Structure 1
């Protein structure tokens, strides 16, 4: 098969894949890396928001279970992946 014919037939498909990679796949990988870093750097005393919208303060971290204080004497336990964002370190 001639190289010129190959590029005419598969060139647009290769170009579309490259566009998808830079517009969709690469940014998602970057967000995933930043989220893993944020979850790995959690520590006691951090103010957080869960993915369910609950604001709280981290009281204790044991493996994958985080104890949050969400009000006066109200404590809940959530998994590490339930943390959506750190408000104040």
Structure 2
């Protein structure tokens, strides 16, 4: 083979690889979009492609419209394709899924931001931060 044929063959292989990667990425995007639209149910919190957050109140499958509650008294109607991402999905049984499950004991134990913590009365089984070896009379 001469140099021109080798260069053309190499160039053709590069073009084929680029086209194959484009088709692969397109199918991947279609699959994730189909999964997202399958997960749309009333009660799910979503963000539109324009950055508006809201909770789905109604879905019209025939006209591809979704009604969002964006505030206590305001609702807007958007097209299905305007959904950017699902913030809080809803399970099949209607319960809201928000990532990791919250353990109520752990959530109640941590103070909220700005909350004052009374360290004078520790809970049973917990050590106070002021307890140290020096205050107990133990020498090092």
Same topology, TM > 0.5: yes
The structure richer in helix per residue is: 1
Whole-angstrom distance in 2 between the partners of 1:49 and 1:9: 49
Name the SS for the 1:45 alignment partner: coil
Q: Which runs of 5+ in 2 are unaligned?
A: 90-140
Whole-angstrom distance in 1 between the partners of 2:45 and 2:19: 35
Match of 2:47 in 1: 49
Runs of 4+ with >6 A deviation: none
Whole-angstrom distance in 2 between the partners of 1:13 and 1:29: 25
Whole-angstrom distance in 1 between the partners of 2:78 and 2:16: 39
Whole-angstrom distance in 1 between the partners of 2:35 and 2:12: 33
TM-score (norm 1): 0.81
Whole-angstrom distance in 1 between the partners of 2:9 and 2:29: 30
Match of 1:28 in 2: 26
Structure 2 counterpart of 1:38, from 36, 39, 52: 36
TM-score (norm 2): 0.54
The structure richer in strand per residue is: 1
Larger radius of gyration: 2
CA RMSD of aligned residues (A): 2.1
Question: RCO (CA 8 Å, sep 6+): is it higher in 1 or 2?
Answer: 1
Name the SS for the 1:71 alignment partner: coil
Q: Residues 60-84 of structure 1, C-alpha deviation per residue, up to 9 Å, x if partnerless? A: 0011110000011100000111111
- Larger mean Cα displacement after TM superposition, 33-42 or 49-58: 33-42
- Larger mean Cα displacement after TM superposition, 75-84 or 11-20: 11-20
| Matched residue count | 86
